[in-house]
Chain A
Amino acid sequence: MEKIVLVGNPNTGKTSLFNTITKCHEKVANYSGVTVKEREKCVKCFDKELQVVDLPGIYSSNTIGEDEKVSMRYISENKSSNIIYVASTLDIEKNMHLFIELVNQGYNLSLFINENSVKLKKENIDKIKDILQIPIYYGDARKGRRDILSWIVNAVISFTPLSKLSVTYNELIKLFEIEPINLQRLDKILLHPIFGKVIFIVILGVIYYLSFISVGERLSGLVFNYWESLWEYCLTALGRYEMFLLIDYLQVVVIKGIGSVVAFLPQLFIILFCMYVLEECGYLPRVAYLFNIDLNKIGLNGKSIFGLSVGIGCTTSGFLTSRNIEDRKCRVMTCRLMPFIGCSAKLPIILFLTNFLLQGRTLIIFAVLLLVLFAGFCYLKALKSDEKNSFIIEIPRLKVPSAKRLTTESFYIVKDFFKRVAVTILFITSLVWLFMTIELKISENTVTLLDLITQAMGILFKPIGLNIKPLMVSLITGLVAKENILSTIAMFGGVSDVSQEALITFIIFVIMYSPCIPSLKCLKEEFNKSFAWSVFLTQTGLAYGTSFVFYTFSMAFGLWFGFIVSACFIFLGISFCKIISMRKSLNCKNCIVKA
């Protein structure tokens, strides 16, 4: 089996090439830092078996970021592999630095020049081929799979390495004849310090409106109705055979439980598609530039935008994307803020409760989201140090993304999401159904196993008004995967006879409490065990405290008073903790002085 390794600067088209060769659908975007670990896939072509490896982008062999170290380590351990160096016509001058560095270090390189919106002359490519004497392919990394594979099999695999380049870097660059880059016309608005930020907030508002209020909501309803009608035939057949236990299982676990996740898929598709459009066209690095100074005030930097925007889809992916932040403190702060932003799994819960139980009072939900964000920012402000950090990001050219490719990519992400989540939800909801069905006789009373468990849990949840069976059980199942929360509530047939204050407290608790166990596991791997535990304890503690204050004061004095007091509690509570920790560190310094 021949190993083919794709190497190059970030954002040159390595993952696009990988997807084309292997027919995969790995994530690509028009900014650096998307690929954060190596990916491998085997492919058979022309009677040969190829193992294709896609690596995170690197600027130089002197690596700084964690993702760059992954690449350099892999290349040096696999020096004898066939390395395809991927360069982009958009940044050929910068891309050639690393190319020359690797050739001079004795690596077996072939060159793939990815044609983007900047085109090169064919005569220049032929001249470069004659001078470099290595296999060179010039074309679009997203098209021409057969030609690319033919080039790899016939030219790349049989190539022997160069010992010495016969041309200098400057001479090589002159051969490409690139036109100088300037700010595009659209950048005058997109990079404007005021209009640029307003445009970004409007774009985000439009995305959320499309996904969760207009198009997404209608599609969601249609999908759920279709899912229900799909199982009706099955239920009717089972009814004839009087298999009531199985009917109950299908109705509770499959139709309501899994159905609640199925109904969310159209909304997830729309939000992913819109986020991919923003990434692919090159807009997100511009957003990082616009918001860098504002994010510095809470200890983040502009690159945190990438992790946070991915974290809106899935917190685990957001934690992984934060690898592209070179400053470790900024990275830690970004990961600490992410649970407050909330992931796509929490959104259907908010929507369901807003639409069906709060009679669509979106202003209240907006207040809840603001309260949670306020908590996140207070928390970061308390942790922030006065140390300044440097920031540099490349601003790529704006380009029109391919609608077909983005649709396909979003579809495959949604499909993978459902496959991954459906198994977990089926298992958890089946377990809960079992606990609901198993009955025990205790001193002439018949209770279910779930009744006993929730009676014990009620002591903990009563002070915050959540000692209601569906809500308690869903918070526990939500620790395994947030998608379980809605499916668990659906299993109980929804919630009834619950006060508005308790419902809003529930939403606050759901958004603020600990991220799911897979996210915590990711944090443990990215940082360490104690960091993962501190996130779990901080989030859950803050969620419980805020929920307690909100529920107590809103029941006594009204909803809006509850919001105001909760905001004050968050501010004072976090400030108090900061003062305690500052005094502790001061005392420690005094001890050192005395010693």
Chain B
Amino acid sequence: MFFLRLNQITKNAVLKIADITDEQERIRLADFGFIKGATIKIISKSKGMYLLRLNNSLYAINDFLASHFVVEEN
């Protein structure tokens, strides 16, 4: 089982959130449902931006925010 930062993932994958390193972002992202143990799917990745599926919603996040996510492959 490997732990990686989300911005190190280069292809579409289904991942589990292991941690969100920034305290303030952890509180803010919890409101959207991005919590430890949640399953996210990378739908698409372009330069500096990620398109993720969480529960039944699509979210766009930037590279800087993705660097706070520690994930493991499902």
**Dominant secondary structure at the B interface:** mixed
Number of A-B residue pairs, CB cutoff 8 Å, is 88
Please, how many angstroms separate the alpha-carbon atoms of A457 and B44 in the complex?
59
Question: Would B48 and A94 count as touching, CB distance under 8 A?
Answer: no
- Scan residues 426-471 of chain A and give those whose CB is less than 8 A from a CB of chain B: none
Within the complex, the shortest CB–CB distance from A190 to chain B, in Å, comes to 12
Q: Mark A363-392, 1 if CB is under 8 A from B, else 0.
A: 000000000000000000000000011111
Cβ-closest chain A residue relative to B48: A293
A62-B31, A94-B32 given as contacts; is B53 within 8 A of A181 (CB)? yes
Interface residue tally for chain B (C-beta within 8 Å): 27
- For B27, B29, B58, the residue with the greatest tally of chain A CB atoms inside 10 Å of its CB is B58
Question: Would A391 and B61 count as touching, CB distance under 8 A?
Answer: yes
Question: Would A181 and B56 count as touching, CB distance under 8 A?
Answer: yes
Question: Would B28 and A64 count as touching, CB distance under 8 A?
Answer: yes
- Please tell me if B10 contacts chain A, counting CB pairs below 8 Å: no
Question: Would A392 and B57 count as touching, CB distance under 8 A?
Answer: no
Instruction: For B51, give its contact among A64, A289, A391 (CB under 8 Å).
Output: A289
Cβ-closest chain B residue relative to A59: B31
- Scan residues 144-180 of chain A and give those whose CB is less than 8 A from a CB of chain B: 178, 180
B47 neighbours in A (Cβ, 8 Å): 193, 293
- Please tell me if B68 contacts chain A, counting CB pairs below 8 Å: yes
Question: Would B55 and A60 count as touching, CB distance under 8 A?
Answer: no
Cβ-closest chain A residue relative to B62: A391
Please, how many angstroms separate the alpha-carbon atoms of A434 and B5 in the complex?
70
- Please tell me if B3 contacts chain A, counting CB pairs below 8 Å: no
Please, how many angstroms separate the alpha-carbon atoms of A314 and B47 in the complex?
33
**Dominant secondary structure at the A interface:** loop
A393 neighbours in B (Cβ, 8 Å): 59-60
Q: Mark A284-304, 1 if CB is under 8 A from B, else 0.
A: 010011001100100000100
A180-B56, A183-B44 given as contacts; is B61 within 8 A of A97 (CB)? no
Question: Would A395 and B59 count as touching, CB distance under 8 A?
Answer: yes
Cβ-closest chain A residue relative to B58: A395
Question: Would A93 and B55 count as touching, CB distance under 8 A?
Answer: yes
A93-B55, A183-B44 given as contacts; is B31 within 8 A of A293 (CB)? no
- Please tell me if A242 contacts chain B, counting CB pairs below 8 Å: no
B30 neighbours in A (Cβ, 8 Å): 60, 62
Within the complex, the shortest CB–CB distance from B37 to chain A, in Å, comes to 12
- Please tell me if A217 contacts chain B, counting CB pairs below 8 Å: no
Please, how many angstroms separate the alpha-carbon atoms of A180 and B43 in the complex?
13
Question: Would A392 and B48 count as touching, CB distance under 8 A?
Answer: no
- 10 interchain pairs, CB-CB under 8 A: A94-B32, A182-B53, A183-B43, A183-B51, A191-B44, A292-B48, A292-B49, A390-B25, A390-B68, A392-B62
